[in-house]
Amino acid sequence: MTGAGTTPRPSHTSPSQRLYGKISRADRARQKGQSPCVIWFTGLSGSGKSTTAKALEHRLVEKGLHTYLLDGDELRKGLSADLSFDDQARSENIRRLGEVARLFTEAGLIVITAFISPFRPEREQARKLMPEGEFIEVYVETPLAICEERDPKKLYQRARQGEINNFTGIDSRYEPPETPEITINTADLSTEQAVDVIMSYLHKGGIL
């Protein structure tokens, strides 16, 4: 081989190149002029998670913020299409959701998730993936009776008739958050009022 320092090494083994570092979470957030976070809605089917989440996202986008709403049905049709609905599969679904939500914050986005996410350990696992203060758990505590009365997708009806198994609130448990950042009850609040409560929290918490 040629003596070191006299001849450049062949370009095919070591092409001359500027080395690029990783574009960081902070870089991506700065580009978008915002602080990434996960706003994690949890609550029974029909509690108002999706409606509130959508309205919140509209409010944030109107302010020019870069968001993404991870939709439960969409995730089930795609990333989690291989999973069933038993407890173990539901846990795995929520684990994946947490990981994906984290990736979106790495991209600098404000991520909103609206899944029943019934079990406390999976929500806590998702929280642990995020830096302190950047996981905002929104407990939509609308009572079961009201959720069941609304029954927008007729799922409670089907669960009561035994057509659906492992349905949260009927034959599968829901573990309420012990110390959620925000609690809203959509039986008492309009969607706009619920969004106001969350926006107020985000302002106070320095996210906005």
CB 44 within 8 A of CB 116: yes
- Kindly state whether residue 189 participates in binding a second copy, applying the rule CB under 8 A: yes
Name the helix (H) or strand (E) containing 110: strand 110-114
Using CB under 8 A as the criterion, what x/- string covers residues 124-163 for binding a second copy? -----x----------------x--xx-------------
Distance CA 20, CA 8 (A): 21
Using CB under 8 A as the criterion, what x/- string covers residues 30-69 for binding a second copy? -xx------------------x--xx-xx--x--x-xxxx
Q: Which is nearer to a second copy, 16 or 179 (CB)?
A: 16
Degrees, nearest 5: CA angle 154-48-167: 45
| Joined tokens for residue 203 | 């302002």
Name the helix (H) or strand (E) containing 113: strand 110-114
CB 109 within 8 A of CB 36: yes
Buried b vs exposed e over 44-72: b needs ≥16 C-beta within 10 Å?
A: bbbbbbbbbbbbbbebbeeeebbbbbbbb
- Kindly state whether residue 86 participates in binding a second copy, applying the rule CB under 8 A: no
Tokens 């580009």 sit on residue: 31
- Taking alpha carbons only, the member of 69, 203, 52, 207 closest to residue 134 is 207
Q: Closest approach of Cβ 194 to a second copy, in Å? A: 9
# residues contacting a second copy (CB under 8 A): 56
CB 113 within 8 A of CB 41: yes
CB 91 within 8 A of CB 119: yes
- Kindly state whether residue 103 participates in binding a second copy, applying the rule CB under 8 A: yes
By CB under 8 A, name the one of 83, 187, 197, 208 that touches a second copy.
Answer: 187
Q: Closest approach of Cβ 144 to a second copy, in Å? A: 13
- Kindly state whether residue 23 participates in binding a second copy, applying the rule CB under 8 A: yes
Catalytic (active site) residue 200: no
By CB under 8 A, name the one of 183, 191, 196, 205 that touches a second copy.
Answer: 191
Q: Point out the catalytic residue in the list 117, 172, 190, 200.
A: 117
Residues taking part in catalysis: 117
Which chain residues interact with a second copy by CB under 8 A?
Answer: 11-23, 27-28, 31-32, 51, 54-55, 57-58, 61, 64, 66-71, 74, 78-79, 82, 92, 96, 99-100, 102-104, 106-109, 129, 146, 149-150, 186-192
